[in-house]
């Protein structure tokens, strides 16, 4: 994968995370925090924040388990400092952390079990792995990243928008519309009597 392609792919992941983060009230920070640590985030690292959570996109250079594990350890160390500082700033209010490791491609099949164990670990923060969709995937979609919606804090189902201040009238079928008009014109008691007589 060329450097330009990798950067374009990461931009797609960032865009997809942006969309989901906005739905749950997380906003992308323009500049990464500078915690007191020797760890330097890789190019493309991105942070989304809210009063209750932080999501960190952390690029990983390779998809083998050793590289993934190393990226998780380094990313977690940097993120830990950010989370601790965030809790200090909110006077001890807990903040959930979600470390999203962006792999250049799907991990090897023989590494999946180790990766699953890594994702189940909640030390410091939850960890999730994402990677670009491949043409060999059954559900391939150009530019889409796999497992983005699996990030715990972001994986909410699509829901209709919250109701606005104006009342909205439901759509009635013909039978319901006829009954409603009858109730409106003659009243409930009279409509009940008519329908009982019809039975």
Q: At residue 52, does pLDDT exceed 80? A: yes
pLDDT of residue 130: 94
pLDDT of residue 162: 57
Say yes or no: 75 and 116 in one domain.
yes
Say yes or no: 83 and 181 in one domain.
no
Q: At residue 1, does pLDDT exceed 50? A: no
Q: At residue 102, does pLDDT exceed 80? A: yes
Say yes or no: 15 and 95 in one domain.
yes
- Per cent of the chain over pLDDT 90 is 38
The CATH number of the domain holding residue 86 is: 3.40.1340
Answer whether residue 155 is part of any domain. no
Decide if 13 contacts 148 (C-beta within 8 A): yes
Domain span including residue 187: 160-199
Most confident of 11-15, 37-41, 133-137: 11-15
pLDDT of residue 167: 62
Segment 106-111 mean pLDDT: 84
DSSP code for 69: H
Measured CA angle at 14 (ends 149, 62), to 5 deg: 90
The values of phi and psi at residue 99, to 5°, are -95, 120
Q: What's the token pair of residue 57?
A: 């996109």
Decide if 17 contacts 26 (C-beta within 8 A): no
Answer whether residue 138 is part of any domain. yes
Decide if 57 contacts 15 (C-beta within 8 A): no
Rounded Cα–Cα distance for residues 29 and 141 (Å): 28
Rounded Cα–Cα distance for residues 74 and 80 (Å): 10
What is the pTM for the complete model shown?
0.73
Q: What's the token pair of residue 191?
A: 């409509």
- Per cent of the chain over pLDDT 70 is 88
Say yes or no: 186 and 108 in one domain.
no
Q: Find residue 96's DSSP bridge partners.
A: 53
For residue 114, count other CB atoms closer than 10 A to its CB.
15
Model confidence at 48, pLDDT cuts 50, 70, 90, reads very high
> Which of 45-59, 67-81, 158-172 is predicted with the least confidence, judged by mean pLDDT?
158-172
Q: What dihedral angle (degrees, nearest 10) is formed by the CA atoms of 150, 156, 160, 165?
A: -140
Segment 13-40 mean pLDDT: 90
Q: At residue 185, does pLDDT exceed 60? A: yes
pLDDT in tens, 113-138: 888 898 888 888 899 999 998 888 77
Closest Cα to residue 153, out of 37, 83, 56? 56
pLDDT of residue 139: 78
């Amino acid at each position: 994968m060329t450097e330009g392609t990798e950067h374009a792919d990461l931009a797609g992941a960032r865009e997809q995370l942006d969309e989901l983060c906005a739905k749950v009230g997380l906003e992308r920070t323009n500049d990464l925090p500078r915690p007191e640590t020797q760890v330097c985030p890789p190019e493309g690292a991105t942070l989304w924040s809210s009063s209750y959570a932080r999501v960190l996109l952390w690029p990983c250079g390779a998809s083998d388990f050793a590289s993934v594990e190393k990226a998780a350890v380094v990313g977690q160390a940097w993120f830990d400092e950010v989370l601790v500082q965030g809790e200090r700033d909110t006077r001890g209010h807990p903040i959930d952390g979600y470390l999203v490791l962006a792999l250049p491609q799907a991990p090897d099949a023989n590494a999946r079990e180790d990766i699953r164990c890594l994702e189940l670990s909640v030390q410091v923060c939850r960890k999730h792995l994402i990677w670009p969709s491949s043409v060999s995937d059954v559900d391939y979609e150009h530019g889409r990243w796999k497992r983005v919606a699996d990030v715990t804090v972001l994986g909410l189902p699509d829901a209709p928008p919250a109701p606005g201040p104006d009342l909205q009238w439901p759509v009635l079928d013909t039978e319901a519309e006829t009954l409603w008009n009858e109730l409106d014109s003659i009243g409930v008691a009279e409509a009940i009597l008519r329908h009982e007589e019809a039975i």
